[in-house]
Amino acid sequence: MTKILIAEDNATNRELFRELLEARGYAVDEASDGPEALRMLEQAQPDLLLLDIGMPVLDGFAVVRAIRENPRLAALPVLAVTAYAMQGDRERILNSGFDGYLSKPINAKLLVKELDRLLHKGKERNATARPSEGESTEGDSISKKRAATAAGNNSSDRD
């Protein structure tokens, strides 16, 4: 089951998100501030984080920075939700490590569309992360084969 963590300091908004997400069949966890969100990400390992920007202690920008700096969390899709409607915020948000951005009040159709897009993105990241480990092993064996071939050529040259 696809699991989504909601990090949002407003209890009414958390409830609203939970209802929207559970109605779509997602499993939902909740955090009410940034530090709690970072703890829960390590424990609950959700497929996506819905992250409010305006939160006390650690705001959304600080939380997403910590996520991108943590190798275990760096590939996690993070969708920003914010009440900020100022021009330029969208660009600032998308340049800060978030994968998407929705402004409040949340449009349920847009939310679902963004979740589909970002969950797909998360799967692609995981799929490309694994083969790269295999590639490096393959690369090693290819260079060993090349070394062996080169050694063989050398010995045939001597003959």
The residue ranges that bind Mn ion (CB under 5 A) are 9, 52, 54
Nearest residue (CB) to Mn ion, 9 versus 36: 9
Report in angstroms how near the CB of residue 104 gets to Mn ion at its nearest: 9
For the record, the structure tokens of 127 come out as 């799929």
> Phi and psi dihedrals of 101, rounded to 5?
-150, 130
* Helix/strand number for the chain, H first, E second: 5, 5
Report in angstroms how near the CB of residue 72 gets to Mn ion at its nearest: 26
Length of the chain: 159
Nearest residue (CB) to Mn ion, 6 versus 122: 6
Q: Shortest Cβ contact with Mn ion: which residue?
A: 54
Nearest residue (CB) to Mn ion, 82 versus 115: 82
Report in angstroms how near the CB of residue 28 gets to Mn ion at its nearest: 17
Distance, in Å, from the CA atom of 73 to the CA atom of 4, rounded to the nearest integer, reads: 14
For the record, the structure tokens of 146 come out as 């090349």
